[in-house]
Amino acid sequence: MAPELARGEILAWLRCDDPKRLERLWEMADQERARRVGDCVHLRGLVEISNHCARLCTYCGISAAHAALKRYRLSRDEIMACARRAFAFGYGTIVLQAGEDPELDSQWVADLVGDIKGTTGLAVTLSLGERAPDELALWRARGADRYLLRFETSDRGLFARIHPPHNDQAVCDRIALLRTIKALGYETGSGIMVGIPGQTRASIARDLALFRELDLDMIGIGPYIAHPATRLGREGAPAAGADQAPATEQMACIVVALARLACPEANIPSTTALATINSAHGRAHGLTRGANVCMPNLTPPSYRCLYEIYPGKAGSQGTPEDSHRSMLETLAALGRPAGQGPGGRRRA
Ligand code: SAM
């Protein structure tokens, strides 16, 4: 493992607002990225398979509370067509993401995973929310390779406020669930939103320590983007005083860069949220400040705009071909090759 960054050093970077000094952080993160995971950018085809959600997360535009949102669920055939397209584009991985949709029955998902693996051989990443250990075990047994579940913030009080419990259950302990996911043999991904009202820089320093403690294989970091149809977007919440983390591109990039230094071998995407708050340069900034993965959107165009977790989501108007082309243009401009094969976690 790489030597741990001192907490004081992490906090100093999280509090740094000097563009000249930040150049040094970007450079350190980029060099560490090149040394530890190489120049290739792994492309994971993202398919948003359902926007149904039983949860009431106060930040998320597809939460059950958004009653006016038209809901969809892709059929097995539609998802298989996306998988074939991912294969044709030369991607090594397909990511199936959804709201927490109880109709995505565990056996149906297991059969889908088996069909995708059998037909395309792609690595399969699932991101279907908080699911029961026996379902997670079944999907793993049918060949699912990776599972993504962001813990969003390690501040348990803040998490409970933005992620109200469901069906009279206690607030899910996502950190314990991530340990279960890891024990089942998945490559395990998690991450946070940056700049949630009430989130301090000190709590982000703890998030970074937790990334390392959980030995995450994938770390997704994006700025929080207020959605006017959500409770948090509409009503806001008290900021955490002077130590409140801003929901800016710069702050999200600082966290990406520190995640690379803390967890040098992890796969770190340059997220859609970064590309949303800076449509011209967000994706490239992520890739030159520690990230080594992108997730071009393969969701069929008629459904994309309905997976509106925040407003103005990058790519929500285009086609899979548009997403693919724009991703290759970004990589060409940076002189970075697209990765071949599944692009799993490297270990030193
Ligand atoms: N239901 C699954 C889950 O909760 O893990 C996967 C889908 S969820 C929409 C995917 C991610 O979107 C969340 O982990 C969260 O970090 C991000 N997200 C949701 N609302 C957001 C917002 N307003 N701003 C930024 N990211 C947001």
Q: Tell me whether residue 337 is in a domain.
A: no
CA distance 199 to 194: 8
In this prediction, residue 282 carries a pLDDT of 98
CATH number at residue 135: 3.20.20.70
User: What pLDDT was estimated at residue 171?
Assistant: 72
Mean pLDDT computed over every residue of the chain: 95
| Contact (CB, 8 A) for 218 and 268 | yes
pLDDT tens digits, one per residue of 241-268: 999 999 999 999 999 999 999 999 999 9
Q: How far apart are CA 210 and CA 44, in angstroms?
A: 25
Residues enclosing ligand 1, CB less than 6 A? 59-60, 62, 97, 99-100, 127, 129, 149-150, 152, 193, 222, 224-225, 227, 273, 309-310
Give which of 146, 136, 142 is closest to 92, Cα–Cα. 146
> What is the sign of the dihedral through the CA atoms of 197, 202, 206 and 211?
positive
Residue 338 included in any domain: no
What is the pLDDT, as a whole number, of residue 2?
63
pLDDT tens for each residue of 181-238: 999 999 999 999 999 999 999 999 999 999 999 999 999 999 999 999 999 999 999 8
pLDDT at 166 over 80: no
Of residues 103 and 5, more confidently modeled: 103
Lowest mean pLDDT among 82-96, 103-117, 227-241: 227-241
- Of ligand 1's listed atoms, the one at least distance from the Cα of 100 is 1
Which residue puts its alpha carbon closest to atom 8 of ligand 1? 99
Cβ(175)–Cβ(152) below 8 Å: no
- Residue 169 confidence (pLDDT): 73
At 308, is the pLDDT very low, low, confident or very high (cuts 50, 70, 90)? very high
Here the tokens at position 292 are: 């080594």
Residue-wise DSSP of 1-34: -PPPPPHHHHHHHHT---HHHHHHHHHHHHHHHH
CA of 309 to the centre of ligand 1 (A): 7
Nearest alpha-carbon partner for 323 in 132, 20, 43? 43
Q: Please check the confidence at residue 5 and state whether its pLDDT lies above 90.
A: no
Q: Which atom of ligand 1 is nearest to the CA of 232?
A: 23
Instruction: Please count the structural domains in the chain.
Output: 1
Q: Is 302 domain-assigned? A: yes
307 CA closest ligand 1 atom index: 9
Instruction: Give the model's confidence band at 165: pLDDT under 50 very low, under 70 low, under 90 confident, else very high.
Output: confident
Q: How confident is the model at residue 168 (pLDDT cuts 50, 70, 90)?
A: low
Answer whether residue 348 is part of any domain. no
Please report the atom of ligand 1 found closest to the CA of residue 230: 23
Question: Is 244 within a domain?
Answer: yes
| Tokens linked to 227 | 């959605």
Question: What mean pLDDT comes out for the span 302-320?
Answer: 94
Quote the DSSP letter at residue 91.
-
Q: Whose CA is nearest to atom 4 of ligand 1?
A: 129
Give pLDDT tens digits for 9-52. Answer: 999 999 999 999 999 999 999 999 999 999 999 999 999 999 99
| Encoded amino acid at 202, one letter | A
Shortest-distance atom of ligand 1 to CA 149: 5
- What is the structure's pLDDT at 32? 97
Between the CA of 314 and the centroid of ligand 1 the distance, in Å, is 14
Query: Which residues have a Cβ under 8 Å from the Cβ of 257 and sit 6 or more positions away?
Result: 13, 25, 26, 28, 29, 289, 290
Helix axes 106-120, 76-88, angle to 10 degrees: 30
For 26-46, give one letter per residue: b (16+ CB within 10 A) or e: bebbbebbeebbeebbbbbbb
Closest Cα to atom 14 of ligand 1? 150
| 342 within some domain | no
Residue entry with tokens 């970007």 = 26
Count of alpha carbons within 13 Å of 337, Cβ hemisphere only?
10
- Best CA proximity match to 49, nearest among 128, 163, 157, 148: 128
Domain around 72: 10-332
Query: Which ranges constitute the DSSP H helices of the chain?
Result: 7-14, 19-37, 76-88, 106-120, 133-141, 156-162, 174-183, 201-213, 231-235, 249-262, 272-277, 282-288, 301-304, 320-334
Instruction: Find residue 127's DSSP bridge partners.
Output: 97
Ligand 1 centre and the CA of 150: distance in Å? 8
Q: What are phi and psi of 164, to 5 degrees?
A: -60, 150
Question: What pTM was estimated for this model as a whole?
Answer: 0.97
Q: Does 311 map to a domain?
A: yes
Q: Does 1 have pLDDT greater than 70?
A: no
Which of 151, 309, 316 has the most ligand 1 atoms within 8 A of CB, as the residue to mutate? Answer: 309
pLDDT of residue 215: 97
pLDDT score recorded for residue 160: 93
Q: What is the pLDDT of residue 170?
A: 72
